[in-house]
């Protein structure tokens, strides 16, 4: 039973397939006749209800990460757009963050905060680790756009990617890391 939409497939007493939809029964045919269509329908229905952020599913966004190089390699080449970044150390994703200030340098500004002489970005959270490993961290970017709507998308998907990849430098909930 699909709880969201209130439908299910049932097998009738004579082996025929019946679609139960919102309290009504709809005979569809024999199992041999219906099975190819049921498989195609279920495969489509499974993906049709995935949430979308900025018009994309999380899996679609996950295919858009772009390597941009070392953190300490000069952030001047990093884009001023909005989105997420992930820090990779020794082949492991160690941190996922976002640059959301679309009118103030976006990702470039946020990543530059980890490498400049002022320690304002290094006082809490992953900041000290990013600073200590700035020569060895590789950065990948996920650009969501260049405006307020793009910042909203970045806000929405950041937590999803943190949950998906569980980077050790991201502190979530009561996790003592």
pLDDT at 4 over 60: no
The CATH superfamily assigned to 58-165 is: GIY-YIG endonuclease (3.40.1440.10)
Residue 65 confidence (pLDDT) above 90 = yes
For 10-46, give one letter per residue: b (16+ CB within 10 A) or e: eeeeeeebbbeeeeeeeebeeeeebeeeeeeeeeeee
The predicted structure's pLDDT at residue 121: 63
Write down the mean pLDDT value for the chain.
83
User: Residue 172 has what pLDDT?
Assistant: 61
What is the model's pTM? Answer: 0.69
Q: Are 94 and 88 a contacting pair, CB within 8 Å?
A: yes
Q: Looking at residues 42-46, what average pLDDT do you find? A: 67
Q: Residue 29 above 70 pLDDT?
A: yes
Structural domain boundaries in the chain? 7-48, 58-165
The pLDDT-based confidence of 169 (bands split at 50, 70, 90) is very high
């Amino acid at each position: 039973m699909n709880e969201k939409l209130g439908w299910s497939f049932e097998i009738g007493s004579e082996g025929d397939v019946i679609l139960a939809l919102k309290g009504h029964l709809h005979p569809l045919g024999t199992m041999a006749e219906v099975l190819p269509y049921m498989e195609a329908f279920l495969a489509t229905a499974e993906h049709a209800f995935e949430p979308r952020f900025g018009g994309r599913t999380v899996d679609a966004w996950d295919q858009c990460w772009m390597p941009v190089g070392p953190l300490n390699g000069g952030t001047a080449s990093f884009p001023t757009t909005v989105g997420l970044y992930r820090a990779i150390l020794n082949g492991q994703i160690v941190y996922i963050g976002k640059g959301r200030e679309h009118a103030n340098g976006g990702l470039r500004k946020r990543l530059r905060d980890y490498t400049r002489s002022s320690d304002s970005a290094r006082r809490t959270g992953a900041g000290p680790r990013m600073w200590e490993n700035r020569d060895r961290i590789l950065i990948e970017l996920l650009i969501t756009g260049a405006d307020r709507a793009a910042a909203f998308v970045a806000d929405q998907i950041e937590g999803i990617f943190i949950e998906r990849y569980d980077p050790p430098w991201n502190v979530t909930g009561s996790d003592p890391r």
